[in-house]
Structure 1
Amino acid sequence: MTTPAPAAPTDFDPACAGWLAAQAHALDTETALAPDLLPRLAQAGLPAIGVPQALGGSGGTIIDAIAVLAEAATHSLAAAFVLWGHRTYIEYLLQSPNAGLREALMPALLDGSLAGATGLSNAMKHLAGIEPMQLTAQAEGGGLAVDGRMPWVTNLRSAAFHVAAAVDGPDGGCFVASFAHDDAGLTRTPDLELMGLRATSTAALDLEQVPIGPDRIISANAREWLPRVRPAFVGLQCGLSIGLARRALNEARLAAGTGRGILAAPIQSATQRLEAATNALTAGLNARSFEADASGLFELRIALADVVAEAVSLELQALGGRAYLAGPGRDFARRNREAAFIPVITPSLVQLKSALAKQRESAA
């Protein structure tokens, strides 16, 4: 029996949806709305989905969080990308043994006054054998001091943020800690000059002798903890592809009615593959099978990215010359830029394919 895919939530706040649709172009091309984006998402209750009611959330599971993130991506990938970083950080706290940190930060995370960011892409790649760790800690004055650089982190809202990152400890172990915007020795660069997604507060972080104490430790054993949270990390990433592909396929379906009926079959085929991959993601997350073996999760992320590329291509073919006109083609041009970002979200498709190839070689 097939597990139902996460559908577009019927209670997605209409005011938020309208604002995202109206501002999608500005969110992609300008930085002016960056301070407003997370509070808007929080006002609509989106970060609270999948968070237990006892912690101030609206209940549900990570499947529900993926569904609402996918719906946000149908309107604006910039908004969905910010929601991904924020909701992923919240998930880290939900799965952390550090109850004090969770209770201290959760109210501000849910109301959007504090931004949560995930700097664990490096750790996820390290876990898959792709690259070395970028942050290291040394004993300093009875505690620990952290050095290193995070070259690309999203949702570093200047007003206030916390970012989760994995650190190589002085004892050969690896831990996950939360760093704050006002920590001594932590420097946020200006926003990166992206070709799109400009309102996502994406920047680099430099750490020089940043002190870290036990109150900021999300997990003392990263190598044991990371495989448990990786399905949520990558699963929420998959929500970006699900929403963008759904929107592009819907636009292609609407535009293909005038003299382009030949596209009906490939649009239907791509839609079926999208829903099959979404069903498989839901089933794997429910069964927790991705914790023991992440290969199936990596394959789904790759498959969904392929569907996004095909969906945007089909939208282009359905629109024809209108897609190249500045006015009628503006939304398509944005989705085309958004689709170009899907393969390079870390871990990138090349990195995932390399990890899968290495795994197959080891098995052989």
Structure 2
Amino acid sequence: MGSVALNRHVIGDEVSLASIAEQVATIARKNLAPMAPAIDAGTVYPDELLHRLGDVGAWGSHLPKNGAADLRCAIHSIAALGEVCGATAFMAWCQNTLVWYVANSTNPKLVAKFGDKFSTGQILGGTGLSNPMKSFFGIEKLKLKGRKVDGGYIVKGALPWVSNLGPNHFFGTIFEREDEPGGIVMFLADCSDPAVSLQPCKPFLAMDGTGTYGVQFRDVFVPDDLILADTAGPFVKKIRAGFILLQAGMATGLIRDCINIMNEVDPPLGHVNRYLPQQPVNFAELLAELEAETMTLAADPYNEEESYWRKVVALRLRLGEASVAAAHAAMLHCGARGYLKSHRAQRRLREAYFVAIVTPATKQLRKMLADM
């Protein structure tokens, strides 16, 4: 992400956060780039690559230390992946968000059992908060229901889309208590549970290799050891800025590659592209501005001030809109060559729309700002 420096070192480790981001960028260029079309088409789910990224520290850089957290390295790493493949950047966000949930849980048994396994990439997983995040802002009702039983809860219902999943994966989500009006509980769902079923989704416009499924809960017993927060409201308020800010890497990486695409076609097409209203220099200036704002906010994700939260939401809205604008401009700069399925410009455009519609989507962000 440009020239923003990362100098903080991991406590007790000689590997700097800058080094982690650099290693992720190397893996992205050498190993991910050849796989990107297959991931986009849905013929590959890159689980081995996600495990390898865990080996170099990609999923553990944002772990809280001494009551503070710093998301900057994680966002840099997601951006490095996003510059090559939007789908993998999205999966990286899923994994990092799962780690974020566990790292902020006050359930000691859950943290002891899963913290290191998620943050090292030994176990992969995702986030099932799309429906809950919409429900908190009056857009949907919670789709999962649960009731207290001895040693845990029984949960039923279905979520239409949860990503970065597989048979042995986990994800965090929320159910509404049927036995306690207004009560909501956040928990880890175990995809290997026989009462949890993963249903393949219809083909998407892009990013079919993201391990996205519909998830059915048929009276699933969720033990107390899998409860992230028994009173989910305050917990969600604590993690919400991190949830949104980690998505910034998807946008900034994509925008950077759209700038690259425009620059690549400048030698043969610059003489006519100069008549287009949006030029790569304009997006380079916008990207620098968005990155600087992201890095400022990402250094303080536990900030409880309402003005800070408004800045996070406003930034996320700008990132989604800038992604679509940059990808649109890249297509126009490429002309007919970008319209070929073999050219990545059309993939970047399809991925950009995902950045704009993934929760929180453009319309939800605008509603949130209006409600503030």
| TM-score, normalised relative to structure 1 | 0.87
In structure 2, how many angstroms separate the alpha carbons of the residues matched to 1:288 and 1:196? Answer: 30
Deviates more, 1:261-270 or 1:181-190: 261-270
Q: Name which of 249, 256, 260 aligns with 1:250.
A: 260
- Would the alpha carbon gap of residues 312 and 71 (structure 1) be closer, same or farther in structure 2, given more than 3 Å must change? same
- Would the alpha carbon gap of residues 15 and 234 (structure 1) be closer, same or farther in structure 2, given more than 3 Å must change? closer
Task: State the identity as a percent.
Answer: 25
2:113 corresponds in structure 1 to 104
Whether 1:21 aligns to 2:29 is: no
Whether 1:233 aligns to 2:268 is: no
SS of residue matched to 2:77: helix
In structure 1, how many angstroms separate the alpha carbons of the residues matched to 2:129 and 2:266? Answer: 41
| CA positional deviation for 1:119 | 0.6
- Would the alpha carbon gap of residues 349 and 261 (structure 1) be closer, same or farther in structure 2, given more than 3 Å must change? same
In structure 1, how many angstroms separate the alpha carbons of the residues matched to 2:299 and 2:110? Answer: 27
In structure 2, how many angstroms separate the alpha carbons of the residues matched to 1:324 and 1:243? Answer: 21
2:9 corresponds in structure 1 to none
1:216 corresponds in structure 2 to 226
2:169 corresponds in structure 1 to 161
- Would the alpha carbon gap of residues 237 and 134 (structure 1) be closer, same or farther in structure 2, given more than 3 Å must change? same
In structure 2, how many angstroms separate the alpha carbons of the residues matched to 1:129 and 1:325? Answer: 41
Deviates more, 1:250-259 or 1:143-152: 250-259
Whether 1:87 aligns to 2:96 is: yes
| CA positional deviation for 1:307 | 1.2
| CA positional deviation for 1:194 | 1.7
1:299 corresponds in structure 2 to 314
2:14 corresponds in structure 1 to none
Give CA deviations for 1:132-172 in whole Å, capped at 9, x if unaligned: 212111234564211111111001122x1111111212223
Give CA deviations for 1:88-112 in whole Å, capped at 9, x if unaligned: 0001111111232122123332443
**2:264 counterpart letter in structure 1:** L
In structure 2, how many angstroms separate the alpha carbons of the residues matched to 1:9 and 1:38? Answer: 14
In structure 1, how many angstroms separate the alpha carbons of the residues matched to 2:366 and 2:188? Answer: 30
In structure 2, how many angstroms separate the alpha carbons of the residues matched to 1:12 and 1:122? Answer: 31
Deviates more, 1:65-74 or 1:109-118: 109-118
In structure 1, how many angstroms separate the alpha carbons of the residues matched to 2:316 and 2:25? Answer: 27
Deviates more, 1:261-270 or 1:188-197: 261-270
Q: Name which of 268, 277, 281 aligns with 2:281.
A: 268
Q: Name which of 48, 57, 64 aligns with 1:45.
A: 57
**1:103 counterpart letter in structure 2:** A
Gaps of 5+ in 1: 360-364
In structure 1, how many angstroms separate the alpha carbons of the residues matched to 2:287 and 2:25? Answer: 25
- Would the alpha carbon gap of residues 272 and 217 (structure 1) be closer, same or farther in structure 2, given more than 3 Å must change? same
Deviating above 6 A after TM superposition, structure 1's stretches of 4 or more consecutive aligned residues are 5-8
In structure 1, how many angstroms separate the alpha carbons of the residues matched to 2:58 and 2:113? Answer: 20
- Would the alpha carbon gap of residues 38 and 347 (structure 1) be closer, same or farther in structure 2, given more than 3 Å must change? same
In structure 2, how many angstroms separate the alpha carbons of the residues matched to 1:177 and 1:264? Answer: 48
SS of residue matched to 1:189: strand
| TM-score, normalised relative to structure 2 | 0.85
| CA positional deviation for 1:213 | 2.2
- Aligned pairs (5 A) from 1:157-196: 157-158=166-167, 160-169=168-177, 170-172=179-181, 173-196=183-206
| CA positional deviation for 1:320 | 2.3
Q: Is the 1:227–1:292 contact (alpha carbons within 8 Å) kept by the matching residues of 2?
A: no
Q: Is the 2:28–2:84 contact (alpha carbons within 8 Å) kept by the matching residues of 1?
A: no
In structure 2, how many angstroms separate the alpha carbons of the residues matched to 1:39 and 1:275? Answer: 31
Q: Is the 1:90–1:116 contact (alpha carbons within 8 Å) kept by the matching residues of 2?
A: no
Q: Is the 1:16–1:41 contact (alpha carbons within 8 Å) kept by the matching residues of 2?
A: no
**1:39 counterpart letter in structure 2:** H
| CA positional deviation for 1:15 | 3.9
| CA positional deviation for 1:19 | 1.2
| CA positional deviation for 1:29 | 0.4
Deviates more, 1:231-240 or 1:292-301: 292-301
Deviates more, 1:108-117 or 1:314-323: 108-117
| CA positional deviation for 1:289 | 7.3
1:322 corresponds in structure 2 to 337
- Aligned pairs (5 A) from 1:277-316: 277-288=290-301, 291-293=304-306, 294-316=309-331
The structure carrying a bigger helix percent of its residues is: 1
Q: Is the 1:87–1:116 contact (alpha carbons within 8 Å) kept by the matching residues of 2?
A: no
**1:302 counterpart letter in structure 2:** L
Gaps of 5+ in 2: 7-17
In structure 1, how many angstroms separate the alpha carbons of the residues matched to 2:165 and 2:357? Answer: 19
2:78 corresponds in structure 1 to 69
| CA positional deviation for 1:319 | 1.7
| CA positional deviation for 1:174 | 1.3
Whether 1:36 aligns to 2:48 is: yes
